[in-house]
């Protein structure tokens, strides 16, 4: 019970942390985020700047509004110190909506003027060595920004995490034309709008206005079908999955699974307690009988056993708290994502939750034994009460054993299935090669300089350039239009050089790679995949016929020069998308892709790092093997498998302890029967079979219930979130059953052989 309660304590603090996100904002109950659904029916946490401006112009049904944009960053220069800094663009209403305490400066005016910058205390100390920097300046490239405020460091349980805030008017000054670039209705991928509703909010009226804005803007902006919605602040970190999320987020399905499995562990422990309590029925029968004869009522007996169970649970709480302190550190170190997500810190209120939780567990555990003893009369209690029926034709102890092993089998089977899927995701055939490739983020350095230095290393077999790294869940989309079509469609895009496709072994179905060109020559070529042809109803079975077709992207007429076999642009959670490759015209953005020709990766990485330091002394090398990046892309899934595996281990241990207790009880109560059978010639093997067959039948019954239920749950609830996954095989289901059966057989065998080998004369001599 102590072990299971410790898991419960961990989950209480974990869920409490998730529910505490953004609770420090004074207006938290009235803050909503404007979310979007783009023309591809993808739900986004972001929206357009136009949406924010239209809501602000209308002004009805809201108290205040703020518009943010991510992407501010660069190398900040403060005298002789140069450090990389990142943050958000924010308008002057930011501090009217959110409560981020300011140490120095005026929140009302800090983000009003162009080139104003607000730093967190940590960022200020990194840049200047002190937090008292109001009025000082720092330079990004050739632009000077003036510090107008210093904030207290951002609480960890905040979905907004930033080192700097830069006035939105700076961005508007650089882009005065509202139809330019990102200042248009279709640009919904980097901007965030938050509104504060009045004391008596009317979300229906506001949603109606959002629908009207969507309809008006969709009519103005051709080929766009964007809808707006509302999301409460408390639903941002726990809620439905949205793309372009700011800050860490755990899907609500993952939370439900974790909480559900934790409850299963606790219920299993409660069953175990009830099982062992009922197993002690012979020892407690006289006590209960005598109490009833002397006038005790059913309620007296029930209260006695409930109080006993609660006291045991509170005693277990003392031990479980020590286990919890150990588990907390292990849980936080399970994965960097977990450490970034929660703190798991204790508070007085959470201690009260712990005590209340232990009392509830005690009542739950003691409920069945209490009513078990209360329902028998004084005569029956002198008999073997363990044979009394809780339900018709079903023995109490058998029911509990079956329930425990159902949970254990579900745990271990989910773990095995999940691990197989995880391994299939990270080794999935993406349609291109990732082996021995290192992706190096340029961080503003000249691509040609980096390429030249790295190409001098003998371990480097090839180098290419790309705007982004594919199959990691990141995407860059754009509108494309075929020259003979009036409709445009959204396509995924990557910008690469003429070496990229060969380096990654992409398969051409028709055409050729990009023609080398100088950085200043006009872009004219485009390479597409099969899904792109399908989207525009072009002949997929004869891709060579599409060569030379003109596609219009960003007003440029680009000619298809190659068609690639389909590949995975995003993770395998998503279906294969239409993708276009464009040729680099600004090669100093994005990544350098380096293919190694040596098995000594450590030595190669060391040489690459030395070369990088000679190029850039400010930024540390930001490089990773492609295969490691893919593995990291599924890190949340991996984390879930580890947690479920841990719970599976606990569940099996608890169930096995309960089974062992029941085996001991059963064999002890049948000692005379076994001795008499031995006297009449029964062999030890026959006796072991006699004692074990009932328990083995119960295990098979548990398997009959658990395994189909697990299969249906995993197939219909978990795997539906992944467009490409491995089918569930029979071996995955049977491995868990085999493991549980082996453990059960070892326990059964150890105890039953001991009883079967006992000397019948010693057992029967006093009869």
Is the pLDDT assigned to residue 488 strictly greater than 70?
Answer: yes
**SS3 at position 51:** helix
pLDDT at 385: 47
Beta strand extents in 210-249 (DSSP E only): 227-232, 238-239
CA–CA dist 95, 169 (Å, integer): 15
pLDDT tops 60 at residue 729? yes
β pairing state of 556-564 and 591-596? unpaired
Does the pLDDT value for residue 281 go beyond 80? Answer: no
695-721 pLDDT tens trace: 788 888 888 998 898 888 888 887 877
Q: Residue written as tokens 């509170």? A: 314
**Average of pLDDT values for 125-146?**
90
Cβ 191 vs Cβ 69: under 8 Å? yes
Whether the per-residue pLDDT at 535 is higher than 50: the answer is yes
Phi first, then psi, for residue 258 (nearest 5°) are -60, -45
Give the C-alpha separation, 310 to 604, whole Å. Answer: 61
Residue with tokens 């490739």: 437
What value does the mean pLDDT of the chain take?
A: 84
Residue 286 has pLDDT above 70, yes or no: no
Cα–Cα distance for residue pair 517/499, rounded to 1 Å: 12
What's the mean pLDDT in 121-138? 92
Residue listed under structure tokens 């009932």: 694
Contacts of 743 (CB under 8 A, 6+ apart): 652, 656
- Closest alpha carbon to 168 in 90, 66, 112: 90
CB-based contact 665:387 (threshold 8 Å): no
In whole angstroms, give the CA distance from residue 60 to residue 105: 31
CA distance 473 to 633: 7
272 in Cβ contact with 658 (< 8 Å):
yes
Q: What is the CA radius of gyration of the chain?
A: 33
For range 6-19, the mean pLDDT: 89
| Residue with more model confidence, 223 or 79 | 79
**C-alpha dihedral over 693, 699, 701, 705, to 10 degrees?**
-170
pLDDT level of residue 730 (50, 70, 90 thresholds): confident
Reported confidence tier of residue 264, pLDDT bands at 50, 70, 90? confident
Q: How many CB atoms lie within 10 A of CB 506?
A: 20
Q: Is the pLDDT of residue 555 over 90?
A: no
pLDDT, position 230: 94
Q: How many CA atoms, within 13 angstroms, populate the side-chain half-sphere of residue 175?
A: 11
- Per-residue pLDDT for 64 more than 90? yes
Residues sharing a CB contact under 8 Å with residue 217, sequence separation 6 or more, in sequence order: 50, 51, 54, 185, 224, 226
Pick from 346, 393, 364: which is nearest to 264 by CA?
364
Query: What are the φ and ψ backbone dihedral angles of 447, each rounded to 5 degrees?
Result: -60, -40
Helix (H) or strand (E) holding 583: strand 579-583
Could you tell me if 760 and 680 are in contact, meaning their C-beta atoms sit under 8 angstroms apart? Answer: no
pLDDT-based confidence at residue 222 (cuts at 50, 70, 90): low
Q: Which residues, in sequence order, are CB contacts of 136 under 8 Å at separation 6+?
A: 78, 128, 146, 147
Angle ∠(46,49,50) on CA atoms, nearest 5: 120
Could you tell me which of 99, 50, 89 has the C-alpha nearest to residue 167?
A: 89
Q: Which long-range contacts (CB under 8 A, 24 or more apart) does 707-714 make?
A: 707/409, 707/413, 707/733, 707/736, 707/737, 709/406, 709/410, 710/409, 710/410, 710/413, 710/414, 710/417, 713/414, 714/414, 714/417, 714/418
pLDDT at residue 654 tops 80: no
410-430 confidence digits (pLDDT tens): 878 888 888 888 888 888 889
Q: Percent of the chain, pLDDT > 90?
A: 37
Taking residues 638-664, report their average pLDDT.
Answer: 75
Is it the case that residue 94 has pLDDT exceeding 90? yes
What is the Cα 216 distance to its own chain's centre? 37
What confidence score (pLDDT) does residue 389 get? 47
Dihedral, 171, 175, 178, 183 alpha carbons, nearest 10: -60
Confidence of residue 501 (pLDDT cuts 50, 70, 90): very high
Name the DSSP letter for residue 585.
Answer: S
Cα–Cα separations (whole angstroms), residue 326 to 137, 320, 453, 697: 46, 10, 48, 38
For residues 130-155, average pLDDT: 91
Res. 377 pLDDT band, cuts 50 70 90: low
pLDDT band at 394 (very low <50, low <70, confident <90, very high): very low
CB distance 221 to 185 below 8 Å: yes
Burial class (CB in 10 A: 0-12, 13-18, 19+), 708: exposed
Give me the torsion for CA of 328, 330, 335, 337, rounded to 10°: 10
As given in the structure block, the two tokens for residue 622 are 């930001």
How sure is the predictor about 386, in pLDDT bands with cuts at 50, 70 and 90?
Answer: very low
Is residue 523 over pLDDT 80? Answer: yes
141-145, 191-195, 465-469, 539-543: segment of lowest average pLDDT: 141-145
Among 466, 469, 488, which Cα is nearest to 478's?
488
SS3 634: coil
pLDDT of amino acid 366: 84
* Helix, strand, coil share (%) of the chain residues, nearest 5: 50, 20, 30
| Per-residue DSSP letter, 715 | I
Over range 743-752, report the average pLDDT: 75
- Sort residue 481 into left (φ over 0), alpha (ψ -120 to 50) or beta: beta
pLDDT band at residue 433 under the 50/70/90 scheme: very high
Structure confidence at residue 179 (pLDDT)? 47
Q: 422: part of which helix (H) or strand (E)? A: helix 396-426
Residue 232 banded pLDDT, cuts 50, 70, 90 = very high
Instruction: Give the model's confidence band at 518: pLDDT under 50 very low, under 70 low, under 90 confident, else very high.
Output: low
pLDDT above 80: residue 183: no
pLDDT digits (tens, 9 = 90+) for 590-617: 999 999 998 888 899 999 999 999 998 8
> What pLDDT score does 167 carry?
94
Of all helices (H) and strands (E), which one includes residue 118? Answer: strand 116-120
Beta bridge partners of 582: 495, 526
Reported pTM: 0.77
Please give the angle made by the CA atoms of 518, 520 and 521, to the nearest 5 degrees. 70
Please name the helix (run of DSSP H) or strand (run of DSSP E) that holds residue 73, with its range, or none: strand 64-78
Residue 390 confidence (pLDDT) above 50: no
Polymer length in residues for the chain: 767
């Amino acid at each position: 019970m102590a072990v299971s309660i410790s898991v419960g304590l961990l989950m209480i603090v974990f869920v409490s942390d998730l529910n505490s996100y953004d609770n420090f904002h004074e207006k938290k109950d009235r803050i909503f985020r404007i979310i979007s659904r783009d023309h591809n029916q993808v739900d986004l946490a972001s929206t357009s700047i136009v949406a924010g401006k239209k809501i602000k112009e209308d002004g009805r049904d809201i108290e205040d509004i703020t518009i943010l944009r991510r992407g501010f960053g660069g190398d900040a220069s403060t005298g002789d110190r140069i450090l990389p800094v990142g943050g958000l663009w924010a308008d002057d209403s930011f501090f009217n909506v959110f409560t981020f305490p300011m140490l120095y400066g005026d929140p009302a005016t800090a983000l009003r003027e162009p080139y104003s910058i607000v730093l967190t205390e940590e960022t200020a100390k990194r840049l200047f060595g002190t937090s008292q920097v109001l009025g000082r300046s720092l330079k990004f490239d050739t632009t000077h920004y003036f510090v107008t405020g210093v904030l207290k460091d951002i609480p960890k349980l905040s979905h907004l995490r930033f080192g700097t805030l830069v006035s939105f008017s700076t961005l508007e000054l650089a882009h005065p034309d509202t139809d330019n670039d990102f200042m248009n209705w279709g640009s919904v991928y980097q901007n965030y709008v938050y509104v504060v509703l009045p004391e008596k909010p009317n979300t229906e009226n506001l949603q109606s206005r959002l629908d009207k804005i969507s309809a008006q803007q969709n009519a103005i902006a051709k080929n766009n079908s964007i809808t707006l919605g509302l999301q409460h602040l408390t639903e941002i970190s726990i809620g439905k999955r949205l793309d372009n999320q700011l800050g860490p987020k755990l899907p609500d399905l993952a939370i439900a699974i974790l909480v559900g499995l934790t409850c299963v562990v606790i219920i299993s422990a409660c069953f175990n307690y009830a099982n062992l309590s009922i197993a002690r029925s012979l020892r407690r029968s006289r006590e209960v009988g005598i109490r009833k004869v002397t006038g005790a009522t059913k309620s007296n007996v029930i209260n006695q056993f409930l109080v006993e169970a609660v006291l045991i649970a509170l005693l277990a709480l003392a031990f479980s708290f020590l286990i919890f302190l150990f588990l907390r550190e292990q849980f936080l170190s399970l994965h960097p994502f977990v450490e970034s997500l929660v703190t798991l810190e204790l508070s007085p209120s959470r201690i009260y939750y712990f005590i209340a939780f232990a009392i509830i567990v005690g009542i739950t555990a003691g409920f069945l034994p209490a009513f078990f003893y209360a329902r028998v009369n004084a005569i029956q209690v002198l008999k073997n009460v363990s044979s009394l029926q809780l339900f018709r034709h079903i023995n109490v102890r058998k029911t509990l054993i079956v329930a425990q092993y159902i949970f254990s089998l579900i745990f271990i089977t989910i773990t095995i299935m999940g691990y197989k899927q995880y391994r299939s995701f990270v080794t999935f055939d993406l349609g291109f090669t990732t082996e021995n490739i290192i992706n190096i983020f340029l961080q503003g350095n000249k691509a040609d300089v980096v390429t030249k230095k790295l190409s001098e290393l003998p371990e480097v077999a090839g180098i290419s350039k790309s705007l982004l790294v594919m199959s990691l869940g990141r995407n860059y989309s754009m509108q494309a239009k075929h020259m003979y079509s009036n409709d445009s469609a959204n396509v995924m895009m990557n910008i690469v050089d003429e070496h990229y496709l060969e380096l990654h072994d992409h398969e051409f179905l028709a055409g050729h790679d990009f023609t080398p060109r100088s950085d200043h020559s006009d872009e004219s070529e485009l390479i597409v995949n099969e899904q792109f042809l399908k989207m525009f109803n072009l002949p997929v079975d004869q891709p060579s016929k599409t060569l030379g077709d003109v596609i219009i992207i960003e007003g440029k007429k680009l000619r298809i020069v190659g068609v690639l076999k389909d590949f995975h642009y995003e993770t395998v959670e998503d279906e294969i998308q239409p993708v276009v490759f464009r040729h680099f015209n600004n090669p100093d953005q994005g990544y350098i892709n380096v293919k190694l020709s040596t098995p000594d990766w450590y030595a190669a990485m060391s040489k690459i790092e030395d070369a990088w330091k000679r190029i850039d002394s400010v930024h540390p090398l930001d490089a990773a093997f492609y295969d490691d990046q893919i593995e990291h892309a599924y890190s949340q899934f991996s984390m879930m498998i580890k947690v479920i595996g841990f719970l599976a281990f606990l569940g099996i241990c608890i169930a096995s302890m309960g089974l062992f207790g029941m085996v001991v009880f059963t064999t002890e109560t049948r000692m005379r029967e076994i001795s008499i059978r031995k006297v009449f010639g029964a062999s030890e093997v026959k006796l072991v079979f006699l004692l074990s067959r009932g328990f083995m039948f119960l295990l098979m019954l548990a398997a009959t219930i658990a395994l189909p239920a697990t299969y249906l749950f995993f197939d219909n609830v978990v795997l539906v979130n992944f467009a490409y996954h491995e089918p569930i095989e029979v071996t995955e289901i049977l491995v868990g059953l085999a493991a549980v059966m082996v453990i059960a057989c070892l326990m059964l065998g150890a105890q039953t052989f001991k009883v079967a080998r006992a000397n019948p004369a010693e057992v029967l001599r006093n009869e």
